[in-house]
Amino acid sequence: MQFTSEQRLDDGVLEREFTLGEVPGILWTPASASASAPAPLILVGHPGGLHKMYPRLVARARHSAAEGFAAATIELPGGGDRPRFAAAEEARADLLRALEAGEPVGDEIVDRLVLPLVEKAVPEWRATLDALLSLPEIGGPVGYAGGVIAIGLRLAVVEPRISAALLFAGSFVPRAMFEEARQVTIPLQVLLQWDDKGNDRQMALDLFDAFGSKEKTLHANMGGHTGVPQFEGDDGNRFFARHLK
Amino acid sequence: MQFTSEQRLDDGVLEREFTLGEVPGILWTPASASASAPAPLILVGHPGGLHKMYPRLVARARHSAAEGFAAATIELPGGGDRPRFAAAEEARADLLRALEAGEPVGDEIVDRLVLPLVEKAVPEWRATLDALLSLPEIGGPVGYAGGVIAIGLRLAVVEPRISAALLFAGSFVPRAMFEEARQVTIPLQVLLQWDDKGNDRQMALDLFDAFGSKEKTLHANMGGHTGVPQFEGDDGNRFFARHLK
């Protein structure tokens, strides 16, 4: 892991850009984090495009830092400046065509779009986690917060260092992964935007039902994809405080 | 309104039993409430049987009082020591028969069970509200929190002094009242116990969808009817703090 830039934000949060192999990412640590008081870590998932997503990501990271959490994110395979991901690009084009034509999105398109992304992104997240946890100012336990719910789901199954996840329902999930959801046992909070046009509400409810976790909470709010109410940010902090502190 | 008993609980909350005509009730006021600092009020709904419900009701009232809210509840028509309510009793017997036989509960049974209860209970709640708001230590605004969601729904439509409602999905709602739900415009938080056997999950989701409120949030948690997690109590306080303070 190579740090490529470093700046102190006005609230004392340290923002560092890094690369891990070909994967760029950003780490935010609260001013309070040190080797003697390492901060618990939240991995922040997003739909790709670090630069475009930066304002929302930094806002979430600062909000988490105010509660003593470090936060980190990496670019998705094929996202931002990373090389295009041919299979996924093609599937995305098919998806957009189906949505524009008002046709139902077939399982086959979802599989082609999401499965390769999950297969490629999850090992990158795990390698990032290895690197982050080797920093003295970062301690376990670890949470995952964000979209691309299929990636969060797979991480929750395969990565034992992740203790809790706050998932945003809002992307397609391959049918095969509903079976996988039953293997998730960590505490979950799932955010659902009730009127999210790009999201299948019933699929989100079915997925929530499928998760094997004994403690899982669904928070559904009005409005579209980016309309998550501000109070959910505070509630997310409280969810992680219950499980990571 | 006649106060019939008064005691100071160990956290300073003043508990007073009262009767309003034939309707018994309980009022809890935080130690801080006074004529110069009147407390906002939360009406606490429950499925009937004040004595049986007392431990849960007083726990909720004390939790609300800790945030500065007064809380009040009344006995349901036909509940506790109040005279039986023949029509509802008969419908309740039919309901239990259907549930025990594993049959679907017909709309006709739900109508006979719930509509007369709503028709009778809502004017009693409104009269109680008149009496409570005439006390110098109680001020507006007013919230409704609790079960018998059909009563909360009707109150939210007809009673302009109620500014926000925290509703527990967990009782049957007549089909005709789904239309009425569209007229509800106050902020809502709806609690749904995902595995509540006595509750129809899909009906609860449909009702949440039907409410006309621009700000409405659904919190679904695991477990049965009485298994609402403790953190939802804190979250309910925060919901009312956002809207009643």
**Per-residue pLDDT tens digits for B75-114:** 999 999 999 988 888 998 998 898 889 888 889 999 999 9
Q: Which domains does chain B have, with CATH numbers?
A: 2-82+121-244 (3.40.50.1820)
User: Is residue A137 predicted with pLDDT exceeding 80?
Assistant: yes
Q: Rg for chain B (alpha carbons), in Å?
A: 17
Q: With CB atoms and an 8 Å threshold, state whether B221 touches A216.
A: yes
3-state secondary structure of B5: strand
What is the pLDDT, as a whole number, of residue A140?
A: 80
> Which residue type does A190 have?
V
Written in H, E and C, the secondary structure of chain A is CEEEEEEECCCCCEEEEEEECCEEEEEEECCCCCCCCCEEEEEEECCCCHHHHHHHHHHHHHHHHCCCCEEEEECCCCCCCCCCCHHHHHHHHHHHHHHHCCCCCCHHHHHHHHHHHHHHHHHHHHHHHHHHHCCCCEEEEEEEEECCHHHHHHHHHHCCCEEEEEEEECCCCCCHHHHHHCCCCCCEEEEEECCCCCCCHHHHHHHHHHCCCCCEEEEEECCCCCCCCCHHHHHHHHHHHHHHC
Alpha-carbon span A199 to A222, nearest angstrom = 13
**Pick from A214, A217, A238: which is nearest to B220 by CB?**
A217
Alpha-carbon span A204 to A209, nearest angstrom = 9
Q: With CB atoms and an 8 Å threshold, state whether A220 touches B221.
A: no
Q: With CB atoms and an 8 Å threshold, state whether A222 touches B216.
A: yes
Q: How many CB atoms lie within 10 A of CB B221?
A: 19
What is the pLDDT, as a whole number, of residue B227?
A: 86
Q: With CB atoms and an 8 Å threshold, state whether A209 touches B194.
A: yes
Alpha-carbon span A75 to A59, nearest angstrom = 17
Alpha-carbon span A17 to A29, nearest angstrom = 12
Written in H, E and C, the secondary structure of A193-205 is ECCCCCCCHHHHH
What is the pLDDT, as a whole number, of residue B245?
A: 86
In chain B, residues with a C-beta closer than 8 Å to the C-beta of A224 are none
User: Is residue A172 predicted with pLDDT exceeding 90?
Assistant: no
Q: Which residues of chain B have pLDDT under 50?
A: none
What is the pLDDT, as a whole number, of residue A242?
A: 96
* Burial per residue of A60-70, b for 16 or more beta-carbon CB atoms within 10 angstroms, e otherwise: bbbbbbebbbb
Q: With CB atoms and an 8 Å threshold, state whether A216 touches B219.
A: no
Q: How many CB atoms lie within 10 A of CB A239?
A: 23
What is the pLDDT, as a whole number, of residue A151?
A: 96
Q: Is residue A35 exposed (0-12), middle (13-18) or buried (19+ Cβ within 10 Å)?
A: exposed
In chain A, residues with a C-beta closer than 8 Å to the C-beta of B234 are 238
Band of residue A51 on the pLDDT scale cut at 50, 70, 90? very high
Q: Establish if A224 touches chain B: CB-CB under 8 angstroms.
A: no
Q: With CB atoms and an 8 Å threshold, state whether B219 touches A218.
A: yes
Q: How many CB atoms lie within 10 A of CB B64?
A: 26
User: Is residue A99 predicted with pLDDT exceeding 90?
Assistant: no
User: Is residue A179 predicted with pLDDT exceeding 80?
Assistant: yes
In chain B, residues with a C-beta closer than 8 Å to the C-beta of A219 are 217-219
* Strand spans (E) along B101-238: 138-146, 162-169, 188-193, 216-221
Q: What are phi and psi of B241, to 5 degrees?
A: -60, -40
What is the pLDDT, as a whole number, of residue A238?
A: 96
Among B189, B235, B243, the strongest candidate for a mutation testing the A interface, having the largest count of A CBs within 10 A, is B235
Among A182, A192, A231, the strongest candidate for a mutation testing the B interface, having the largest count of B CBs within 10 A, is A231
Q: Is residue B129 exposed (0-12), middle (13-18) or buried (19+ Cβ within 10 Å)?
A: buried
Q: Are A171 and A196 in contact (CB under 8 A)?
A: no
Comparison of pLDDT for B140 and A181, the residue scoring more: A181
User: Is residue A86 predicted with pLDDT exceeding 90?
Assistant: no
